[in-house]
Each structure stands twice: as structure tokens, then as C-alpha cells.
A = this chain, B = another copy of it.
Amino acid sequence: MEPSPALPSLGFVGLGAMGAPMARNLLAAGYPVTVHARRHVLVRPLAEGGARAGESPADVAAHSTIVHVMVTDTAAVEEVVLGPRGIIQGAQRDTIVVDHSTISPSGSKRIAERLRAHGIEMMDAPVSGGIDGAAAGTLAIMAGGSEESFARCLPVFRVLGKTIVHIGPNGAGLVAKACNQIALIVNQLGAAEAMLLAERSGLDPMRVKEALMGGFAASKILDVQAPKMIRRDFSGKIESRLHYKDILIALEMAHELGIELPASALASKILTALQQRGGARHDSAAVFTIIDS
């Protein structure tokens, strides 16, 4: 299918567990998409699906008016955006870099300033909803950046997500994402302790979970993570090392603001113990094993 000439050319850098299904959705919506990943093996499935394979982030940018980035941490974003073969080397004026990675807001703002000096706009647009949400195009997208950039990106965001909120200027999306991770990661402790008490009391924990989902304890995390805890199935989707990284970002922000977040601090301790005991690549639901020990 020849892509519609009305649709802007998109780029996608980072084709991991989240990036790949997001890029696939953009292709399926008819956008011309140029992709790149540091692990070249990840490119082929997208190329077979109609994407152009870019040689580098710079090459992706040279063919795109909006360049999406979905990588792991601040260093990785700096490399693909500002590095020697980075987006900044190939992007034209008026390009928008949309970074979906979860990194620190201050790091993201620094990168946005560097880009702006070259006439390139940036949005931080971290997401929540996991791999299933990415595949279904139902992510929550928390966007930070100018009104104008948001308006230009909105049609694309609508392909990727269902709940799309322009939180504020550059960095604001990442602050919202930190809030998201606090709520989610702390809630996960509550789910783990509830399921542990049910199990140790001799109840059927799945039956308890079913009852809880009908009342005020209902949450997406309880629904998705409790069964993994009960089955001890941590062959995970969102690896605990990512939540560990995220909660440290949130605590660093709190420290800079001079506020204490005691439940987040407790969660960071439990996630630290999980990393030390070899659970870094396990699903984050494995915090259950630390509480159950």
C-alpha cells in the first residue's frame, strides 16, 4: 500500500518491548515510518511490515518530520538524540523529537534545550499501560512541551494511546510519569501484601482477588499483577530493574523539592533487595517474593 501523501513521515528509534508494537501501530495507521534500533535484529520484523530501515538515528531524522524515541535511560536518550550519529545530526528545522522514554525530567529538559538551539522542538511523552497497552494502542500518554508541538503530534498520539493529556511544558510529562510510577509501584506493594495474607491464611487468593476487584481496592495493578504473584510467574513483561530505575528518579525529584515520600522510599528498598537477589530481569510483580521472605 502506498502511504497517503497527507500523512507526515515518522521516525522511530528504539524497538524494544514497548517501541516495537508502538511503531507497528503507526505503520498500520498508514504512516511512512523509518525505524532504527541499536540491536539490529529488532529492525527486521518492522522492515518486513513495511518500515524503512534507517542506518542511524541521524538517518531516521533525515527522513522524518516527527521522530519518536523509546529507549531505556537518560544516557541512551542522549546518545540517540545528541550523539555523533544522533537525531540532531539529521533533523531539519521544524522536526519534533517525541521522547517516550522514562528518564529524569531535568535530563530531558537539558536535551530539549540543546535541540531548541538547533531549531528542533522536543516533547517528552512517556506512556503507561505496558506492552499490552502498546500493542492495543490504548496507552496513557503524558505529554510535556509547547502547545504547538502537542497539536502537531496529537493525531499520532491518537494512534498510540487512548488517554492523551498535555500536562505542561517540557519535562512536565516526565514529572507526571514519575507520579504514575509512584502510584503504581506503591500500589503493587499493597497488592503483594494482600495476596500474601490471603495465601498464608489458607484462603484461595484468586477468589480473594476477585472479591477485591469489586470494591474500593480495585486497581489495574491488582488485576494484572496478583495472578502473577499467586502463580509465582515472574517471566515478566515489565522487568523490575525498570521500576527500580523509575522509583529512584521519583525519589531524586522529591529530594530536590525537599519532600519525603515514605511509601516510595519503602518501595525502593524492596526493589533494591529484589535486584540484589537476582530479580532484575523478573517481572516487577516479583516484589512479592521479597515481602514473602
Chain A residues within 8 Å of B, Cβ to Cβ: 105, 127-130, 133, 139-142, 161-163, 165, 167-168, 172, 175-176, 178-187, 189-191, 193-198, 200-204, 207-208, 210-222, 224, 250, 253-254, 257, 259-264, 266-267, 270, 291-292
Return A250 CB to nearest CB of chain B, in Å. Answer: 7
- Do residues B129 and A180 form an inter-chain contact, with CB atoms below 8 A? no
Closest A-B pairs by Cβ, 6 of them: A163-B214, A128-B215, A186-B190, A140-B214, A219-B219, A140-B215
List chain B residues, Cβ under 8 A from A189.
186, 262-263
List chain B residues, Cβ under 8 A from A186.
186-187, 189-190, 193, 263
**17 A-B residue pairings within 8 Å (CB atoms):** A128-B217, A130-B216, A165-B208, A167-B203, A168-B203, A168-B204, A172-B201, A172-B203, A176-B207, A179-B195, A180-B211, A180-B217, A186-B187, A186-B263, A197-B261, A219-B220, A266-B266
- Do residues B254 and A140 form an inter-chain contact, with CB atoms below 8 A? no
Query: Dominant SS at the A interface?
Result: helix
Return A26 CB to nearest CB of chain B, in Å. Answer: 19
- Do residues A183 and B194 form an inter-chain contact, with CB atoms below 8 A? yes
Measured in the bound complex, the distance between the Cα atoms of B193 and A230 in whole Å is: 27
Q: Given A167-B203, A179-B197: A184 and B259 within 8 A (CB)?
A: no
- Do residues A207 and B266 form an inter-chain contact, with CB atoms below 8 A? no
Measured in the bound complex, the distance between the Cα atoms of B105 and A222 in whole Å is: 23
